[in-house]
Amino acid sequence: VLLCTAGRLAARGPLHPGRAAASVTAGHRWVAGHRWVGRRWCASGGATASVQVQPTDGSEGSSEVLSAAASGNFVDDSEEVDIPPEVAELFDTLKGEALRRLDEFGPIHLFSLCWAYSTARLLDEDLQSRITKAALKLGEARDASPHPRSKRGRPREGEGEEANVASAGGAEEEAIVEPHGVQQGQKWYEEPSILAEGEHWLALYKPPHWEVSVDSKEAAKAAERAAAAAPFEDDDEGEGDGEEAGPEQSRNKLKLHSWIRQHMAAKYPICTDPIEAFGLMHRLDAQTSGVLMCAKSYVGAYWLRLQWCSYAVDKEYVSLVHGWVDRDIREIHKRIRIDKKKAPNSRRTISTICSVGPNGKPSFTEVCTLAHLTRPAASAGGEGQVAEPERFSLVVLKLHTGRTHQIRVHMQSIGHPLVCDSKYAVEKQQADSQWCPRNFLHTFHLGFNDTPPSETLGGSAAEGE
């Protein structure tokens, strides 16, 4: 509790000043291992995907859209705040005590420790390596323990018989599962698929309309039994919708964790564990498509979770927004406040609305405008007048923090809401829906440091050397 409180005190200042200048290219950041980069672009008429594994020495590093050398104006209403001396002193005291008792910590305590020190910009290499080693040790123990077989874990007939093999830099990737369809009523929906996988992780393609969440009652009961916290309970964990549906609505939704339990649980026990969100590492809004990470093991889950806690994961999105975004706008620093409406006499969230304001959490989004576009006006102007064409911008956005609805709120705050956003562009949503069926947002890039090989766990690789 003290660590989380101290972390939140430190978070009142800006997170990681100077991170805007950090290169997105993998080779400039990591010393050992591999950096995985996955892309999937959506376009009318079909989507294409490419996956590559990049060595971290930069020998095959690619030039990304958002570059370290990018310069320009930025929208900033946050203040530069130094860490208060009393908070720094508290962290120093807690560090010594934490290191002495590290073997007593559970996974959630290690994640909190990593997050708090990283948020306060006090996470040094020694502390990070010892936290990582302790977390991987716990993960190995969980993976080695017997797990009950999932009733839903039987693979579909014929699944895995056909496989496409992708390679990059001469390294062979594992089988790629092609997308199938799911019919619900009169509608057909694209099914999730595997873009790439490593020894301890899966990179999934999440189609639109699939909900990324864990049933709150199931997760709460499991967490209570284990005296742990559910992975998605913090708003900082990702871009989730941040609200729950009622019983009737919930039955009609496509749930990604149900798909994972059906297709992955037989091979990967973590995909039966609601405490670990069935292996899901982060959220995406139901209407948002793109790359989504899922752990195949507890080692993979803990390794990836620590990277999220230390802000080491790169996430980039492509979106179509209203109006022509000024090309000089490259960064948005605006605090985001989250307001949740609860059901009467219940803790169930029925609505989540976010807004910018001085009492919100520090939030940072990088912006790069790719193109200014026009579309003929839907209706003619007055008598003798020609209607002005609608203006749009195709933008790439990189998240440096993971607040709920961060991209949607930040873009609305500068006057450029997303196309077909029913929550933050209500006045435009009806017209948008005539030609765009869902929120125009897609995550095409996810970068992280790959897990160390199994034979090196507990050794120098686990220690981050």
Identify the pLDDT of residue 438.
93
- Whether residue 417 contacts residue 411, with contact meaning beta carbons closer than 8 Å, is answered with yes
> Is the predicted pLDDT of residue 341 greater than 70, yes or no?
yes
Taking the C-alpha atoms of residue 1 and residue 385, their distance in angstroms, rounded to an integer, is 64
Alpha helices in 265-369 (DSSP H): 298-309
Coil/strand/helix, residue 151: coil
Please check whether residue 443 is in contact with residue 315, taking contact to mean a CB–CB distance below 8 angstroms. Answer: yes
Q: Does 58 have pLDDT greater than 90?
A: no
Q: Taking the alpha carbons of 149, 155, 161, 165 in that order, is the dihedral positive or negative?
A: negative
Per-residue pLDDT, averaged over 160-179, amounts to 36
**Rounded average pLDDT over 244-267:** 76
**Share above pLDDT 90 across residues of the chain, in percent, rounded to a whole number:** 46
371-387 pLDDT tens trace: 999 998 876 656 667 77
Least confident among 154-163, 226-235, 271-280: 154-163
pLDDT band at residue 89 under the 50/70/90 scheme: confident
Question: For residues 179 and 114, what is the distance between their CA atoms, to the nearest angstrom?
Answer: 36
Confidence of residue 264 (pLDDT cuts 50, 70, 90): very high
Most confident of the following: 54-63, 141-150, 444-453: 444-453
- Which pLDDT tens digit goes with each residue over 397-441? 999 988 989 999 999 999 999 999 999 999 999 999 999 999 999
Least confident of 18-32, 92-106, 108-122: 18-32
Residue 358 has pLDDT above 80, yes or no: yes
Confidence class for position 333, pLDDT limits 50, 70, 90: very high
First to last CA, the chain: 30
**pLDDT score of 170:** 33
What is the mean predicted confidence (pLDDT) over 14-34? 29
Which pLDDT score is estimated for 72?
A: 47
Higher pLDDT, residue 1 or 84: 84
Identify the pLDDT of residue 76.
54
Say if residue 369's pLDDT is above 90: yes
Is the predicted pLDDT of residue 247 greater than 60, yes or no? no
Average pLDDT of span 23-31: 26
At 73 the pLDDT is: 53
- The answer, yes or no, to whether residue 45 has pLDDT greater than 50, is no
Please give the Cα distance from 234 to 427 (Å, whole number): 30
Q: What is the average pLDDT score of the chain?
A: 73
Q: Among 256, 240, 168, which Cα is nearest to 206's?
A: 256
Distance, CA of 420 to CA of 200 (rounded, Å)? 36
Question: Which is more confident, 345 or 451?
Answer: 451
Mean pLDDT of the 60-66 span: 44
**233, pLDDT greater than 50:** no
- Give the residue, 77 or 416, on which the prediction is more confident: 416
Interatomic CA distance for residues 236 and 4, integer angstroms = 13
| Number of DSSP helices (H) and strands (E) in the chain, helices first | 10, 19
pLDDT at 50: 35
pLDDT at 352: 85
